[in-house]
């Protein structure tokens, strides 16, 4: 094999996608019964009408296993050789979530580790997985984003409780060629620790967030990273068929689409039904959008995220043709 063809065969290609949501739903009406807030305030400021919340018997590991199992079952048949779990809410400090997830999937023995980069964690995990594949270390990597962000706010904090939900999403990456559908484009990633205080939680139930500042940074960073990723992929940003932004808030994603000049009907969204699910947000959105037909094979798709750290990122792919089964929990599409 020549050096050039080796490079080509080591692109990371999405070949499976899956998602998992806890069955328990908390509606805005549930929140207005116990917090000084209104359905109108929550919907108009965030676009959120409900969120899925895990009860104590459903862990981050459980959600990760469910999403991962679906990504493996619904993908092209491959043998998973490594696992990365992106999460800010692991079940414990030590050991990491990923080895337990691997074992429950029957994958004991493979390299498996966690990665924390806030709501950008999934894109950071894609980058490390793509690096493993490019280096020839492994040929396939399972990448999971799983979070229980609903555990972070203080239960009485009306400014943060309405925003967050729990869930997991996963993709399987295999080695392939840069030109094929599903191949990840260049990854643009960044961080800025001077903004560390804007979103912080030293333990569950103690989240602090400067909402308005976070909002401004999120729009700026996601717009800039998106342009850079599109340019690096050789795309004109206006050629994008689908924008798949981290689901923090529909006003944020709407501003990003507007700044990029992407028509609003190309912006994927499900924050209304699931809230902000952190590292799970993008793979959950991809899985559900592919299942409900809003994301179709051949769509030029741009992924972008922003989160605590501060961290941000973006990448591109042309959506592949995957053998999907209908998702178990039905959440409609709302942008």
Distance in Å, CB of 9 to ligand UT7, minimum: 36
Distance in Å, CB of 20 to ligand UT7, minimum: 20
Q: Which of 9, 39, 41, 333 binds ligand UT7 (CB under 6 A)?
A: 41
> Considering beta carbons, is residue 107 or 303 the nearer one to ligand UT7?
303
Distance in Å, CB of 279 to ligand UT7, minimum: 10
H helix runs in 33-144, sequence order: 39-46, 60-73, 97-104, 121-135
231 is a contact residue toward ligand UT7 (CB under 6 A): no
Catalytic residue status for 94: no
> Considering beta carbons, is residue 18 or 307 the nearer one to ligand UT7?
307
**Cα–Cα distance between 16 and 121 in angstroms, integer?**
19
Distance in Å, CB of 269 to ligand UT7, minimum: 13
Question: CA–CA distance from 264 to each of 65, 138, 327, 333, 334 (Å)?
Answer: 33, 39, 25, 13, 12
Q: Taking contact as CB under 6 A, which single stretch among the options 20-28, 77-85, 213-221, 314-322 is the one that binds ligand UT7?
A: 213-221
> Considering beta carbons, is residue 267 or 299 the nearer one to ligand UT7?
267
Stated as kind and residue range, the H or E segment containing 213 is helix 211-232
Q: Are 319 and 290 in contact (CB under 8 A)?
A: yes
* 314 Cα distance to chain centroid: 11
Q: Taking contact as CB under 6 A, which single stretch among the options 70-78, 126-134, 172-180, 212-220 is the one that binds ligand UT7?
A: 212-220
* Concatenated DSSP letters of 45-72: HH--SEEE---TTS-HHHHHHHHHHHHH
Q: Are 126 and 120 in contact (CB under 8 A)?
A: no
Q: Which of 54, 101, 119, 127 binds ligand UT7 (CB under 6 A)?
A: 119
């Amino acid at each position: 094999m020549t050096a050039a063809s080796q490079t080509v065969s080591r692109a990371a290609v999405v070949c499976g996608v899956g998602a998992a949501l806890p069955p328990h739903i908390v509606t805005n009406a549930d929140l207005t019964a116990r917090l000084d807030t209104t359905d109108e305030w929550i919907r108009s400021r965030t676009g959120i009408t409900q969120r899925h919340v895990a009860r104590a018997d459903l862990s981050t590991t459980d959600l990760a296993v469910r999403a991962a199992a679906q990504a493996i079952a619904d993908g092209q048949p491959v043998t998973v050789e490594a696992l990365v779990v992106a999460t800010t809410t692991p079940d414990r400090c030590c050991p990491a979530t990923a080895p337990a997830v691997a074992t429950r999937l029957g994958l004991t023995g493979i390299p498996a580790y966690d990665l924390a980069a806030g709501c950008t964690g999934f894109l950071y995990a894609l980058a490390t997985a793509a690096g493993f594949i490019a280096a020839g270390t492994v040929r396939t990597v399972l990448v999971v984003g799983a979070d229980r962000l609903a555990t972070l706010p203080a239960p009485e904090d009306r400014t943060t409780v309405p925003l967050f939900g729990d869930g997991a999403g996963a993709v399987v990456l295999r080695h392939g060629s840069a030109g094929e559908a599903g191949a990840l484009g260049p990854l643009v990633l960044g961080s800025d620790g001077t903004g560390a205080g804007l979103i912080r939680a030293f333990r569950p139930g103690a989240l602090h967030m400067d909402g308005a500042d976070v909002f401004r940074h999120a729009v700026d960073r996601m717009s800039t990273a998106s342009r850079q990723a599109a340019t690096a992929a050789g795309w004109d940003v206006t050629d994008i068929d689908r924008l798949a932004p981290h689901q923090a808030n529909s006003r944020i994603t709407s501003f990003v689409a507007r700044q990029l000049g992407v028509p609003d009907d190309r912006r994927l969204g499900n924050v209304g039904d699931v809230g902000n699910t952190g590292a799970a947000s993008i793979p959950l959105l991809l899985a559900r959008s592919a299942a409900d037909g809003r994301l179709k094979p051949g769509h030029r798709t741009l992924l972008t995220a922003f989160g605590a750290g501060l961290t941000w990122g973006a990448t591109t792919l042309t959506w592949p043709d995957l053998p999907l089964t209908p998702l178990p929990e039905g959440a409609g599409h709302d942008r």
